[in-house]
Amino acid sequence: MSSISRPQSGGEQGLRYGLRDGACQAVTQGSGEQYLSAFALLLQASPFQLSLLSALPQLVGTVAQILSVKVLQWYPNRKALISVGTVGQALTWIPIVLLPLLLPQWGPWLVVGGAAAYFACAQFTAPAWNSLVADWLGQHERGAYFARRTKIIAGLSFFALCGAGWILSLWQHSGAAWWGFALIFALAGGARILSVLALSPVHEMHPTAHQEAQQGFFGFFRLGATKDFRRFLVFSGLMHASVLIAGPFFVLYLLQDIHLSYIGYGGWLATGLLGQLLAVQAWGHFGDRFGNKALLSITGFTVPFLPMLYLVSTHLGFLLIVNFLGGVIWAGLGLGLQNYVFDSVRPADRAKAIALSSTVNAIGWSMGALVGSWLVEHLPARIEWGGVVLQPASNLPFVFFLSGVLRLLVSCSLLGSFREARQVELPPRRQLLWELPIVKPVAQFVTWTLPKLNR
Quote the domain boundaries for residue 238: 12-203+215-378+390-439
Is residue 91 in some structural domain? yes
Is residue 446 in some structural domain? no
Please tell me which of 152-156, 208-212, 435-439 the model is most confident about, judged by mean pLDDT.
Answer: 152-156
pTM of the model: 0.77
- Whether the Cβ atoms of residue 50 and residue 40 lie closer than 8 Å to each other: yes
Q: Which residue has the higher pLDDT, 235 or 157?
A: 235
Q: Is the pLDDT of residue 2 over 70?
A: no
Least confident of 205-209, 238-242, 251-255, 416-420: 205-209
Least confident of 201-210, 248-257, 296-305, 413-422: 201-210
pLDDT band at residue 210 under the 50/70/90 scheme: very low
pLDDT band at residue 386 under the 50/70/90 scheme: confident
Is residue 324 in some structural domain? yes
Q: Across the chain, what does the average pLDDT equal?
A: 82
Q: pLDDT tens for residues 333-353? A: 998 998 888 788 777 777 778
- Residue whose C-alpha is closest to residue 419's, from 261, 297, 243: 297
**Cβ-proximal residues to 151 (8 Å cutoff; 6+ apart), any chain:** 276, 277, 280, 281
Is residue 444 in some structural domain? no
Least confident of 6-10, 155-159, 262-266, 282-286: 6-10
Total domain count for the chain?
1
Is residue 1 in some structural domain? no
Q: Which residue has the higher pLDDT, 15 or 405?
A: 405
The CATH number for 19's domain is 1.20.1250.20
Is residue 162 in some structural domain? yes
C-alpha 372/C-alpha 366 separation (Å) is 10
C-alpha 362/C-alpha 57 separation (Å) is 9
Least confident of 18-22, 56-60, 189-193, 293-297: 18-22
Helix ranges (H only) for 75-141 are 78-102, 107-134
pLDDT of residue 441: 56
- Residue whose C-alpha is closest to residue 319's, from 245, 379, 385, 397: 397
Query: Can you tell me the mean pLDDT for 48-71?
Result: 84
Q: pLDDT tens for residues 412-449? A: 999 989 888 777 777 666 666 666 776 655 555 445 45
Percentage of the chain surpassing pLDDT 90? 30
Is residue 383 in some structural domain? no
